[in-house]
């Protein structure tokens, strides 16, 4: 291909990539804004002095043989939830995070963003926490929409993360070409 035609072809490719880059950015601007802000917050959650992620308390014993049975601890957490947080929300447990090195268990609940930390050995309440990091994470990955719409197997999250992952890939490729393409055109021009 003659050098002038190569340069014209290169300029055409750059214009196409610029249009794709600009259109993708305009269409997904708010999604990128949400992802960048929530990603930044999630990155800082452990350094937020308890604002985003509550400090993990310490229990009285790290020896599992001294701990109460899991069913008793679960029942304690649900009772504390109903009595201290809300009797209107479901006390159904979503997950139990066992921290043997700290002597505690963290209970999180299905339909809300609260958590309860209990001493593993005594079952005593150590902390009631707002799980802001869980909310931020669900906004970040799109699963908050599955939660509120009530989809059963995370279809919205899957679609959302696929679109955003592909968009980031498109941004990376087109952005690289918008940077590299003009350099290549200059080399073509110099060699003529």
List of domains in the chain: 1-51+132-192 (no CATH), 55-130 (3.10.450)
**Per-residue pLDDT, 1:** 59
Across 143-170, average pLDDT: 89
The per-residue pLDDT for range 1-23, each reduced to its tens digit, is 566 777 788 788 888 888 888 89
CA 32 – CA 143 distance, rounded (Å)? 16
Element spanning 188, H or E? helix 155-191
- For helices 155-191 and 29-43, what crossing angle results, to 10°? 100
Write out the two tokens for 169.
Answer: 């890939």
The per-residue pLDDT for range 66-122, each reduced to its tens digit, is 999 999 999 999 999 999 998 899 999 999 999 999 999 999 998 899 999 999 999
Write out the two tokens for 153.
Answer: 């197997």
């Amino acid at each position: 291909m003659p050098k002038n035609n190569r340069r014209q072809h290169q300029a055409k490719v750059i214009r196409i990539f610029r249009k794709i880059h600009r259109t993708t950015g305009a269409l997904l601007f708010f999604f990128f804004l949400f992802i960048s802000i929530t990603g930044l917050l999630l990155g800082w959650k452990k350094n937020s002095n308890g604002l985003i992620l509550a400090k993990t308390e310490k229990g009285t014993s790290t020896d599992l043989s001294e701990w109460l049975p899991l069913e008793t601890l679960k029942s304690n957490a649900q009772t504390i939830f109903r009595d201290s947080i809300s009797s209107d929300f479901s006390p159904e447990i979503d997950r139990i995070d066992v921290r043997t090195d700290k002597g505690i268990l963290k209970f999180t609940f299905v339909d809300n963003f609260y958590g309860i930390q209990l001493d593993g050995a005594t079952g005593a309440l150590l902390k009631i926490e707002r799980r802001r990091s869980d909310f931020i994470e669900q906004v970040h990955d799109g699963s908050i929409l599955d939660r509120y719409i009530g989809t059963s197997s995370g279809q919205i999250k899957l679609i959302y993360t696929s679109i955003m992952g592909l968009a980031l890939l498109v941004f990376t490729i087109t952005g690289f070409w918008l940077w590299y393409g003009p350099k290549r055109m200059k080399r073509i021009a110099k060699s003529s």
